[in-house]
Amino acid sequence: MKTEAVTTDTRSRATARPLGRGDLRLLLLWLLGQAPRHGYELIQQVSEMFVRTYTPSAGSVYPLLADFEKQHWVSVEEEGGRKRYHITRIGQAQLAARDAEVQAALLRARHSARTMAKAKLPPPLREAMGQLTRALMLHDRRWRDADVAHITALLAQATARVRHAAQDGDDAG
């Protein structure tokens, strides 16, 4: 039985998979291609990619890292009782050979993260965001500098209020 990796219907989001089959493997290899990392760092990096709406379990990440080591895609350096994974030349070649798959996985992850984050928003905020997006896209005439400055200032003010509200929520919890 095949399940869809991402769904845009927020009513069925509980059954949606945040990543497609094999995407976590590709994302981990891509992250290791950026810099050596500990397993926990990789988990946190993937979580950041998903704006913390999804965090892979250690039970899904560490077996993949063990497989990377077995395939000689990574080397492992023991560091204070922790393993630091470094991509090898073979791993870099694998990453290069799968570049199109990696780019597609990154795109799916971004789309999935956006969908999951939007689904968590209260419906009135989702609707307001949609209305703003539509209004901006339908603006077909030349923008006046004063209008751009005013709208930019309003959006910056709204962003600051959202951050402040989020900070107040973190302090209360």
- pLDDT, average across residues 87-110: 96
Instruction: Please give the residue that has the higher pLDDT: either 126 or 95.
Output: 95
Is residue 98 within 8 A of residue 26, CB to CB? The reply is yes
Long-range contacts of 136-145 (CB under 8 A, 24+ apart): none
Q: pLDDT at position 16, please?
A: 62
Q: Render pLDDT for 11-58 as a digit per residue (tens, 0 to 9).
A: 444 446 788 889 999 999 999 999 999 999 999 999 999 888 899 999
Q: Render pLDDT for 59-98 as a digit per residue (tens, 0 to 9).
A: 999 999 999 999 999 999 998 899 999 999 999 999 999 9
CA distances from 40 to 13, 43, 51, 68, 167 (A): 26, 5, 16, 16, 25
Tokens 């945040």 sit on residue: 18
- pLDDT, average across residues 119-140: 89
Nearest to 10 by CA among 118, 114, 108, 119: 119
